[in-house]
Structures are given as structure tokens and as C-alpha cells.
Structure 1
Amino acid sequence: MQKVILIGRPNVGKSSLFNRLAKQRIAITSDISGTTRDTNKTQIEIFDRFCVLVDSGGLDESTEMFAKVQQKTLEEAKNSDIIVFMVDGKFMPQDEDKRIFYSLLKLDKPTALVINKIDGNKDEERSFEFNEFGAKNSFGISVSHNSGVDDLKSWIYRYLEDEIKPDVSLDLDEFLENFDENGEILEEKLENYDEKPIKVGIIGRVNVGKSSLLNALVKESRSVVSPTAGTTIDPVNESFIYEDRIYEFVDTAGIRKRGKIEGIEKFALNRTEAVLEQTDIALLVLDSSEPLTELDERIAGIASKFELGIIIVLNKWENKSEAEFERIREEIRDKFKFLAYAPIISVSALGGKRVHKLYPMILEIYKNFTQKIQTSKLNEMIAEATKTHPIPHEKGKVVKIYYAVQFGFAPPKIALVMNRPRSLHFSYKRYLTNKMRERFNLSGVPVVLIPKNRGSSDEEK
């Protein structure tokens, strides 16, 4: 199985990206330089292909121990198939980074330059300075916000062999056997989401009013409300019936900056993530009386990671104008680009203003989240999109989508059955996603597109 190695100097975010790609917390992450001193390895899935991901020790020759770590890392790079070289986008390009990057290019392997910690416009402007590296494949990402990571995954995917891991929980090939060569369904077996409770997680940093919002939604004092940050530690569950639908709300513990977590609060983040794993929709609560913070963006990234339906709730909205709402909305859209699909609503949880509008919003997004898109209409949209903007050829060879079919729900997951799946560029996938949003009601939910061979044994021709 092919190896993908993450390389870079200490504290550029390699272990965080490792955990993100592995979809679990394996590598220890901290702000202490040199936390990772050995290599962590795990088998991961990128879309429908598998590889071994390697988290290497930071490249640093300042001490004898770190010099040994660096030597081991470079040896591991020689034995890898794909190299992801990471730099810190909070700083200007470093000569040492450039020297290491050029030495890695000499290994003649697919190599990407990844500029991490691009969390805002200033970081994005600074990232242009890294053009001096002359990298053919460069990605600006924010691991903490899950921004740009999908583009990197799409690039890695192009170089992975079509190996099928045994006992995969989602057997896409088996699912596609239910469809003929035109994408028409042969047998339909869909889960009845209409009979399930809608699970809603309330998340945000400490003291933004999550507990007050839960109380307003269920119309009773279910959560303890206090100005003391960190009052809620364990998730608080409460069910409520609205128009014959059961809503299950969970008020999660407020998330602090990592350096300010105290006592049993250190478990709050893990418990919040455990809740989100079982949640359909997240209410991301922001304090409209305070400026947006880096921690708000980080929490938004956590919600995005779990591929949930999302509503952004501006709480503590008392006596503010429509112009002020538009200003804050534009700021959120600028900083939370990865949540461009999430609607924004302003409320006052303590005063109960506009809280009632959340119920129909949640229901609409849940329907979008669990909807079955008609195969014929989906393929009609794909045909129109590819005619308007044809798929770019790959080294002179035609890249063609035979048909598209939805193979998963919550959120909608679409397989693009085609002749050369590795050749579908991530920018074209983004184009198709935007076209889908124009045609179908997908407000508030992410969309997962997976290019796939017509048959697992087919070769690209």
C-alpha cells in the first residue's frame, strides 16, 4: 500500500493534519516545538482509495536528538510515494524551508507545498510570498478550520492506486451494482428519515449563550445558566415536539482556548466531538456583542469536519440594525468560507426573540440533509454542466462522466461514475458542487462528490 508522508519543520501543524486526515485523534498535538519525535503511521481512506499516512518528526538540527529525528524523517521520505511538505503561513517564507523543499523535489516523487494556518485575508495575502518556491502543486489550508483540506485530499487521490480495503463499512461498489449502465436504479432501499428524531447539537465557545438558547428552544430552564464560563461540562439533552416532529437538542460544553482549559473541562472538547458524531444538525452559536475570534473559527471547523447540517446563530442580538446584521454577516462569510452553505440567523435567547424561527429552519435543513435526489434530474444537471464547461482533458485523453448517482445520505453523497476518476480536478468538483446547489435545495448542508470507476476492475483507458 502506498505511503503519504507529512514533512515540515516543528510546529507547522503536521500532527493536526494527520489527525484530520485520519478522522481521529492519534497524534498528540501541542504548541510545544518537537512534540512529535517519532513517526506515527495509520491506514486511511481518501474518498474510495486507501494509503498509509505517515506523521514525521519536525525537521530541526538544533540539538543532537532533533538531528536524529530529522535524519529518520528524511529516510522515511525516501521510502514514501507521495510527499506533503508543510510550512507555517503565519510567517514569511524561511530559507531553511526552501532548502528542505528543494531537497525533497530531488527525490522525484509527487510533492506538494502546503501552507498551513491560512485563517484570514492577511494570512492569504502572505501566502502569495511562497510562490517564490516555484512549487507546481501548492495549497493554502487551515487545518483547524478544515479549510482547503479537501483540495489537498483531491490532489493526493490522483496519485493513489485503486486498492480496495477489505471490510469497508461503506461498500460503494456493491451499492453501484443496483444501477444499470445509464444510472437507472434497479432496486431502491432507502432509510425512512421521516420517522427519526432530528438530533441537534448546540456548540460554541464559553459564555456565548448556548444554555440560554436550549432553555428558549424547549421553553423551560433545562440548562444551568451562569455568567461563570465553563458552567456546562456534561452535554445536556432535551427533547421537544414541534409540528409532530421530535427534536433532540444537546447543549454541549463551551470550548475554551487550549491554554485556558482547566480541571475537568479538558474533557469537554472530546465530549463535544462525541456528541457531534451522533448529530444531524449543529447550531453554531456566536456572541454578536463581541468581535469574532479565532476560537469561533476553530469551533466552526470542528462542525465542518463532521459533515453536518449547520445553522450559524448570532445570539445576544438586542437593538441592532439591519445594516449591522449585514456587516456581521459579510464578516462571517469572509472568515468562514468553508461554511458558505450555512444560513445565518440573529436571535436573543434570553429575550426569546426570533428563537421560534429556528424550528422551521432546522426542519428544512434536515430535509435537505436526508433528501434523495432523483437520478434522472441529477444526470440532467451533470450533462448540462459538462456541456457548458467541458471537463479538461488529462494529457490529451478524454475525461468523461458516464453518470452520477446518490449513494449516501445525511449528508448527500454523490458518486460520479467515470472513465478516469483520478483525472477529475478538485476545481471541477467544486464547479459541479456549485451547479448542484443552483439546481437542488441544498441550503445548510455539505455535499460529498466521489469520482469512481465504472467497475472496480476497470482500468482507465
Structure 2
Amino acid sequence: MKKSFVALVGRPNVGKSTLFNRLIGERLSVVDDRPGTTRDRIQAPVVWRGVEFTLVDTGGIEPLEPLRHKDTPALAEASVDFVREIREQAEIAIAEADVIVFTVDARAGLTAADEAVAEILRKLIGQRRRLGKTTPPIIIAASKAEAQAPRDASSEFYKLGLGEVYPVSGIHGDGVGDLLDAIVAAIPPQPAEEAAPDESVKIALVGRPNVGKSSLFNCLIGEKRVIVSDVPGTTRDAVDTRIEFVEAGTDGAIGDDSGATPPWPHVTSITLIDTAGIRKRGSITPGVEKWSVLRAFKAVERSDVALLLLDATEGVVAQDEHIAGYILDENKGVVVVVNKWDLIESAEKVARTVQPVAGLGLLTAQMQDFLKLVQERLNFMAYVPVLFVSAKTGFRTDHILPTALRVNEARAMRISTSDVMRIVREASERHAPPTRVGKRLKIYMAAQVGVNPPTFVFHVNDTQLVHFTYQRFLENRLREEFAFLGTPIRLIFRGRKEDR
């Protein structure tokens, strides 16, 4: 069943994000006392009285006078450079909404900015009506109504003539049940279908600020879903978007040299997650940025594959290594995406100078030099594919999702025990197991016991004899046979005493 969309809209700093977090039951949107904290559209599922819908939080809609008159201060002081972009995002949410919750500040009372936003709502709904589309009902949520006085004063919002007014407190939860009842009652009926579990492949875009994550995100989904700017730190929340990716063949995906094309297009559900830029720990400011970075880390935790974005103009810096290390600690699949390659080489130059490189595709000399740098700085994950793209021009961006899906397939790969034992025997013949004080390591049994990531257990005579260099040797032998493109693999060693 298609989920209904319920959009929270309003001017800056009326408590939309606090109310959003209360309604969904977790702290997903970043909350701060400064107006303009939320910039992108954030959405999350809500279930109330057996009805499920998607709640969308938006940035504060601001009349555009601050852009026309420099002397007019912007309401969203924390996002003054993004007034127009934030408004565009909110208008898209209104265009998609089945129900609109117009959020106002009960303590501040009815303001000129509220009336201006109400007029914007009327115009946008009028456009939908003229296009023959259904018009969403509007519910007014008078937020910050913790005390009796603002609750009583909230009736003045009926002057807007938009709908019923519900005094609520996002902090304490007062009135939230009545608001949810009203939302559920206003949702248009949907045809009943059996709910299916979320089996989409979750791909997170992570990296330092201003490496082009949001530009690439918008390029991949084919829609302007997140705000793109040259100012580092524009994205503050983890933004999820579900897409259906149609893959007609294997062309463009690194790690697949078969050249085989399926007899029909293969459709894969993907959840793309755009995240805030992760700066080095000492540079993260308390408050909003700290929460945004924590949200980015949580996005990595719930992803299957992480796209680690690098800035082609800056090379590989220490913070890129730290982020890669965190992804490795979480045992996630990785694709390194070198963005802004158009600033290094034009597409025309690439077309003239590329040469085929075994297992790596078509690379120019500069790409090969950069690849060596990546392999040196990220030597702890030498198994990851590296792509050179430009989100701005679209150069080779069509390679990204196919490669990420190959990595996800590698995470779920299973090897028979007979093949694992064969690899162990051949490894022992090629390189004798290590000895210690005259005692040699013996591997009695080895088998794969898990996936995501692939996990292998080796039963040995004494775990103290397993040197890390021999572990690496065994891992490399497994990768020589089965590649495991872009995914870490875990090797667990158990001694005789542990088996008893």
C-alpha cells in the first residue's frame, strides 16, 4: 500500500523539528534553538491507530523580503544563505503531501510571517487544484503550548481560515495524541495491500564537508531532493530516498568482467542516504553540527554499502582515512568515489587518453596516479573499487550504483566448505603455517559461518600461533579465488580449548 505523505511546514523556529521527533518517537531531525536548523526534507514512518504514513519535516519557509531588501533580517539566522533553496524544498514537500500540518508558535502568537506562509500555502494548493490534482487538507498545530496561556491564545490562529487548530507541545507531548487523531482522520483512504518488509539495498554517501555528496545524491536520484551549495556543511541531516534502479546489463560495474547481459532488465530497490559532512573531531562544533555528525555515523551503521566520497582536487587527506576506518570498523561494503574529476581532466581528454587496466576498467594516466595514492593512504582496505566521477557534469556517475550493487552481492556471497578447505590446503602448501617455540600452527577445519560481511571460522590447535601476517595471507588467498569486491571479510580463529 502506498504510504500517505504528511508534511510539517511553517516559518522558521516554530518547533517543527521538535514536534517531528515527538511524532515519530525518536530524535531524527536536528533540533537547535537557532532558527533555520532544518534545511532538507527529512522523512520517517509513523503508525497511529493502525494507520501508517510518512511524516516529512521541512526547513522553515521564509518570505523572500530578506533577499530583496538587505536591511530586512532573515528569520532563519542559521541558514540565511539558503533561504530560497529551503523554500524550494518545502514547496516540493507541499506538492507531494496528502495532508499538511501548518506549524505555528503558540507562545509568539499570530505573526506577519505566519500570514505570509499561509498565503504561500493557498497559492500552492490553488496550483494543485488548477492542475486537477487533489488538494490536501490543512491542520494547524500550535506548537510550544506547554503552558495554559498559549493553549488558550492558540484560538487566534483560526483567523488564518485554513483549518482546525490543535495546541501541542513537542517537548512534553501534550496534545500530540489529538493531533495524530486529526492527521489520521484527514488522510485519504488508500487501497489495502499486504505490507512488505524493507529489503532495499541501503547505500550511504559519506565524506568530508563539501566533497559533493548532496550534488551526487541529487544526480543519482534524478531529483533535487537536498540543498546543494559551495558552503561546507550545507547538509545537516541524514536524508533517505527510496528508488527503483533498473539495470539493463552489467556494463559500467567494476568487478564484473563477464560482459553478460540479462535477458530482461533487473530492478533493485535502493535506499540512498545523504549525510552531513564529517569533519575531524576537534573541528566539530557543539550543538547542531555534533548531532549531524552523529546522525551521519548512524547512517553508516544502518547501511549495506558506503560510498566514500573524495575530492579529486584535494587528494586523500587524513580525515578521509579516519572516515574509511570507521566504515571498516562497522564492517560495511565500500566504494571509493573520487568526485569533481571534471576539474582534473575534461571528458574529451579522458576519451582520448584512457587505456584499459585489468580489473579496473578504462583509466587515464592521472587516474592511475590517483588510484596509487588511494591504495597507499587506504591500504587497510585495498579491496575497494575506486571510481572517478563528476556529479556536476554526470561523468561516469552511471557506474556508481551498479558497482555498489556488486559490492552488496559480494557481502552476501557464500562459499562451500569444500572450497574453503581446498584454499586452506593450497595456502599451507604455498606458505607453511608459522611456528612458535618449535610448535607449528595446524588448521583442522575451516568454513564460512556468516555473511554481511562474509565470516569464516578456522579451528586450529593454538590461537597464539596465528600471526597477523598469516591471517592476511589467508584473507588474500580467499580474495584471489572469490574477489569479495568492496567488502571486508572476517576471519575467526578458535583453539581446541575454545571448541570444548
Give TM class, smaller chain: 0.5 to 0.7
Deviation, 1:339, is 1.7
SS in 2 for 1:247: strand
**Residues 462 and 496, structure 2, Cα contact 8 Å, conserved in 1:** no
1:310 corresponds to which residue? 334
Tell me if 1:390 matches 2:440: no
The aligned counterpart of 1:253 is: 276
CA displacement, residues 343-392 of structure 1 (integer Å, 9 cap, x when unaligned) = 10011112222111112211111111111111111111111101221212
Give the counterpart of 2:415 among 373, 382, 389: 373
Scaled by the length of structure 2, the TM-score of the pair is 0.51
C-alpha displacement of 1:455:
6.3
Work out whether residues 422 and 451 of structure 1, in 8 Å CA contact, stay in contact via their aligned partners in 2: no
Post-superposition CA distance 1:233-261 (Å, at most 9, x none): 11010111113111111011001233432
Mapped to 1, the partners of 2:201 and 2:496 lie a distance apart of 35
Partner residue in 1 for 2:214:
211
1:195-344 to 2 correspondences below 5 Å = 196-242=199-245, 243-262=266-285, 263-318=287-342, 319-320=345-346, 321=350, 322-344=364-386
SS at match of 1:246: strand
- Separation in 2 of the partners of 1:327 and 1:400? 41
Counterpart amino acid of residue 329 in structure 2? K
1:120-174 superposed Cα distances (whole Å, 9 cap, x missing partner) = xxxxxxxxxxxxxxxxxxxxxxxxxxxxxxxxxxxxxxxxxxxxxxxxxxxxxxx
Distance 1:225 1:208 in 2: 11
Hey, what's the Cα distance between the residues in 2 that align with 1:435 and 1:457?
25
Q: Deviation string for 1:313-358 (max 9, x for gaps)?
A: 0111113551111111111111111121111001111222211111
The residue identity in structure 2 corresponding to 1:363 is L
* Partner Cα separation in structure 2 for residue 203 and residue 363 of structure 1: 17
Amino acid at match of 1:240: I
Per the TM alignment, residue 453 of structure 1 is displaced from its structure 2 partner at its CA by 2.8
Q: CA deviation at 1:268?
A: 2.2
Does the C-alpha gap of structure 1 residues 400 and 213 become closer, same or farther in structure 2, counting only changes over 3 Å?
same
> Which amino acid in 2 is paired with 1:212?
S
**Offset of 1:414 from its aligned partner?**
0.4
Instruction: Give the aligned residue type for 2:334.
Output: I
RMSD of aligned residue pairs (Cα, Å) = 1.8
Name the aligned partner's letter for residue 211 of structure 2: V
The answer for the alignment partner of 1:411 in structure 2 is 453
What SS class does the counterpart of residue 459 from structure 2 fall into? strand
> Which stretches in structure 2 are left out of the alignment for 5+ residues?
1-196, 246-265, 351-363
- In structure 2, what is the Cα distance between the partners aligned to 1:457 and 1:239? 44
Structure 2: distance between partners of 1:402 and 1:292: 42
Q: Which moved more, 1:366-375 or 1:261-270?
A: 261-270
Computing the radius of gyration from Cα coordinates, the structure with the larger value is 2
- Residue 295 of structure 2 aligns with an amino acid whose one-letter code is R
**Secondary structure of the corresponding residue to residue 438 of structure 2:** coil
Distance 1:455 1:257, change over 3 A: closer
Q: Would you say 1:399 and 2:422 are equivalent positions?
A: no
1:444 corresponding residue in structure 2:
486
- The reply to whether residue 350 of structure 1 matches residue 373 of structure 2 is no
Alpha-carbon distance in 2 for matches of 1:388, 1:418: 18
> How many matched pairs?
265
Which SS does the other structure have where 2:341 is aligned?
coil
After TM superposition, give the deviation of residue 397 of structure 1 in Å. Answer: 2.3
1:360 maps to 2:402: yes
What's the CA shift string for 1:73-117, capped at 9, x where partnerless? xxxxxxxxxxxxxxxxxxxxxxxxxxxxxxxxxxxxxxxxxxxxx
Matched-pair contact (CA < 8 Å) for 1:235–1:253: yes
1:457–1:446: structure 2 CA closer, same or farther, 3 Å change rule?
closer
How far apart, CA to CA, are the structure 2 residues paired with 1:195 and 1:372?
A: 22
8 Å contact kept, 1:207–1:227: yes
SS of structure 2 residue aligned to 1:442: coil
In 1, distance between residues paired with 2:418 and 2:456?
A: 13
What's the % identity of the aligned pairs? 37
SS at match of 1:311: strand
User: What is the aligned partner in structure 2 of residue 424 from structure 1?
Assistant: 466
Q: Unpaired segments of 5 or more residues in structure 1?
A: 1-193
Q: Deviations over 1:27-81 (max 9, x none)?
A: xxxxxxxxxxxxxxxxxxxxxxxxxxxxxxxxxxxxxxxxxxxxxxxxxxxxxxx
CA distance in 1, matches of 2:198, 2:289: 35
Shift of residue 215, structure 1, vs aligned partner: 0.8
